[in-house]
Amino acid sequence: MNRAIIVSSSADTAAFIGELLEAEGYGMIAVASSGSEARRLVVSDTEPELVVINTPLPDEFGQELAVMIAENTSAGILLICRNDIADDIGDKVSDNGVCVIPEPLNRQLLSRSVKLVTATRSRMMGLKKENADLLTKIDEMRLINRAKCTLMQYLKFTEPQAHKYIEKQAMNTRQTRREVAMRILATYER
């Protein structure tokens, strides 16, 4: 279920945003009325998919909060501010991936922005998963290469022989190459 946090000192604006987010499929929506309350929500709860900040907040403007959330989570962030300062604020927070929407709010612009931020976050999460998968494969390759080097050092195998040995052991024992490499390293590297 999609989680969102609305940060707004105005209860009416928070209710308007909340209705729109429910229509967009966000089921768990938390509301904070200040930056410090929002910080506690972001840190204590499971990570939200979307954070909407309606500036200014009673204890801060909201720009610092948006940057902090961007640096510490993978949530999509919408920052709503006055039309006359929207461009300046957008320039300051755009490098952090924060989307700035000028006031006055209208339903269509907010809906499009929520869809855009959600789609961008979804793509980012896919890339993050792909990156984690690649790092896992790299670690596995390093481990297997260490095992090959160990076989070459202790059993005087050539690199192709060590490779073939690991492959054959993996097939014969119905283990992964990683497990075979770990077993080899455990045997020879004491």
User: Does residue 190 carry a pLDDT above 80?
Assistant: no
Mean of all residue pLDDT scores within the chain: 94
Tell me the pLDDT tens digit for each residue of 20-58: 999 999 989 999 999 999 999 988 767 899 999 999 999
CA distances, 92 to each of 32, 86, 97 (Å): 23, 10, 10
User: Does residue 1 carry a pLDDT above 80?
Assistant: no
User: Does residue 107 carry a pLDDT above 70?
Assistant: yes
User: Does residue 163 carry a pLDDT above 70?
Assistant: yes
Residue 17: pLDDT band with limits 50, 70, 90: very high
User: Does residue 182 carry a pLDDT above 80?
Assistant: yes
Tell me the pLDDT tens digit for each residue of 114-137: 999 999 999 999 999 999 999 999
Contacts of 81 (CB under 8 A, 6+ apart): 55, 56, 62, 89, 100, 101, 102, 103
Q: pTM for this one?
A: 0.78
Residue 108: pLDDT band with limits 50, 70, 90: very high
